Amino acid sequence: MATAAVNKTPGNAGTKRRFKLWLMFIVLFMGWAGYTIFGQMQQKTATGVKLTTIQGQLDASTKETEALKRQIERLNDPEYIEQLATKEQGMVKEGEQQIFSD
């Protein structure tokens, strides 16, 4: 019986040492994983802000493109060109008079 008690103490100490090493490994791994996740969350936030900004610019460009397309279509109409000439350049047809209002 005395031999069994003596053998358990060194085996028990080795088990405790392995458990402490295993626990230290787990703690270090979890610390690294937490650090990595936190860094990725910050990158995700920054990327989301960039995405929102670029989408806003894309929407503005799309609206501007549509407005320019409408303008091009309207410029193909002779009546619209006549209106622009009258409003912006002060041109009138022969026999017409331009009326100014203050």
Q: At 20, is the secondary structure helix, strand, or coil?
A: helix
Kindly report, residue by residue over 17-56, the tens digit of the pLDDT.
999 999 999 999 999 999 999 999 999 999 999 999 999 9
The span from the CA of 20 to the CA of 10, in Å, is 15
Cβ atoms of 36 and 42 closer than 8 Å: no
Q: Which amino acid is it at 49?
A: V
Tokens encoding 93: 């047809």
Kindly report, residue by residue over 75-101, the tens digit of the pLDDT.
899 888 888 888 887 787 777 777 766
Cβ atoms of 85 and 91 closer than 8 Å: yes
